[in-house]
Structure 1
Amino acid sequence: MIKDRLTTDRLMEIMRECAGDGDEVETDRHPEDIEFASLGYDSLAMLETLSRLEREYGVAIDEEEFAGVTTPAELTTLVNRVLAAAV
């Protein structure tokens, strides 16, 4: 089943399922605006997340574009852009 939109909440659920809870970060910023590395997610966790997103949402995400995203908000935007283009 192809889904039509990724939310940041769903992305964070997927990341926890793929790579664990990450690191606790105390900040006044929203977690979706914090870089993945600061949240405790390394490149292996990100590759697992990419694979899961592609399977769950039925899309192919360009690896170079994926490598350029640094926050959950940016990744959510990228996935939703790919989903919109696939319609």
Structure 2
Amino acid sequence: MSEFTIADLVRLLRECAGEDEGVDLDGDIQSVTFDDLGYDSLALFNTVGRIERDYAINLPEDVVSELLTPQELIAEVNQHLEQPA
């Protein structure tokens, strides 16, 4: 399986939860919190569900709830992608 990237995450955020007009998702957002990007827990839940379906992985809810930034979510997804099925 290929690596999950910031471009993949931005695409899924836009598709699953939209984009706040005041936020530039094309900028350097990797260390910006999801709250500051305008994404609440429901938006993140929808996005994570889509990631799980598209990439055939399971991200534990207790772990996901602790992820604050895109960089942290990307690292978690890639860690699960590296694990053998």
Shorter-chain TM-score above 0.5: yes
Partner of 2:33: 35
Write out the 4+ residue segments of structure 1 that deviate beyond 4 Å after TM superposition.
none
- Contact 1:23–1:39 at 8 Å: present in 2 too? no
1:10 corresponds in structure 2 to 8
Distance in 2, matches of 1:36 and 1:23, equals 15
Structure (1 or 2) with the greater helix fraction? 1
- Structure 2 distance, partners of 1:5, 1:86, is 14
CA RMSD across the alignment: 1.7
Paired residue for 2:75, among 69, 74, 77? 77
Question: Given the superposition, is the C-alpha separation of residues 23 and 86 from structure 1 closer, same or farther in structure 2, using an over 3 Å criterion?
Answer: farther
For the Cα contact (< 8 Å) 1:23–1:38, is it kept in 2?
Answer: no
Q: Secondary structure at the match of 1:32?
A: coil
Q: TM-score, normalised by structure 1?
A: 0.86
The residue aligned with 1:24 is 22
Identity of aligned residues (%): 35
Q: How many positions carry a matched residue from both structures? A: 83
TM-score under structure 2 normalisation?
Answer: 0.88
Q: How big is the shift at 1:23?
A: 4.9
1:63 maps to which of 61, 64, 80 = 61
Question: Is contact 1:4-1:84 (8 Å) kept?
Answer: no
Unaligned runs of 5+ in 1: none
